Amino acid sequence: MIEVKNLHKSFSGEEILKGIDFVFEAGKTNLIIGQSGSGKSVLLKCMLGLFKPENGSIEYDGKAYSSFTDEEQRELRKEVGMLFQGGALFDSMTVEENVMFPLRMFTKQRKRELKARVAEVLKRVNLDGSENKYPAEISGGMQKRVAIARAIVNKPKYLFCDEPNSGLDPTTATVIDNLIQELTRENNITTVIITHDMNSVLEIGENIAFLKDGVLAWKGDKSQIFKTDDKTVTDFVYSSDLFKKVRDAQIKEIN
């Protein structure tokens, strides 16, 4: 679990985060949504320790990050998995070498143990047999699954995902959503996902933080987001004609 308490962050005198309070729960897919410029990425970077907030705290399982010693921060980094927006795979490395990279950084396992763990996670994301391929030789969806395998290979307690469906077709995006949710539940990971994809909200929005202008404007889950009367939320959710039709269909069904 990660708890954000009264978090404030400014740049050049402009306040970006204005007292955010939110609990990111273990074993659930926690989504941060909102328009561009709402503070989503700044919040994520504060949680990762890349930005230092002026006020407030970020607690990992009850302990404030600001009180961590250097050694405790290093240990925490070993427990964090990161799925980058573009995958961020190394083009010159094979699939196996890409997934093995965090293990080489953070563990002292023997090569046989490293290969066994890599094979295990590649099988879990349905990529067994792809070990010797390079990123350029596989599809975008497969590249994303390699990135997921790399993010979980070190058995993280916390998984951060930045727009995991970026650049994927709807069918592949749903596969990635479901995979992230399954892994989260199987391993009781605290998973935090930044997304603009309303399909992801509908599929895996178990705990949602909606930001607007640096404020937590709404929180709830995927079943509640289509029932809220909060105009700020509905203007965001129903910004496309497709979701307006979904809303109208639901209203007709209720009536």
Query: From edge to edge, which strands make up the β-sheet containing 55-60?
Result: 14-24, 2-11, 55-60, 63-64
18-27: average pLDDT: 97
pLDDT of residue 147: 95
Domains of the chain: 1-79+158-222 (3.40.50.300), 92-155 (no CATH)
60-67: average pLDDT: 94
Q: What percent of the chain has pLDDT over 70?
A: 94
- Nearest Cα to Cα of residue 18 among 212, 234, 220, 207: 212
pLDDT of residue 246: 65
What does pTM read for this prediction? 0.90
57-71: average pLDDT: 94
| Main-chain phi, psi angles of 194, to 5 degrees | -90, 130
124-150: average pLDDT: 94
- Residue 3 pLDDT > 70, yes or no? yes
pLDDT of residue 107: 86
| Main-chain phi, psi angles of 191, to 5 degrees | -105, 125
> Which of the four pLDDT bands, split at 50, 70 and 90, describes residue 71?
very high
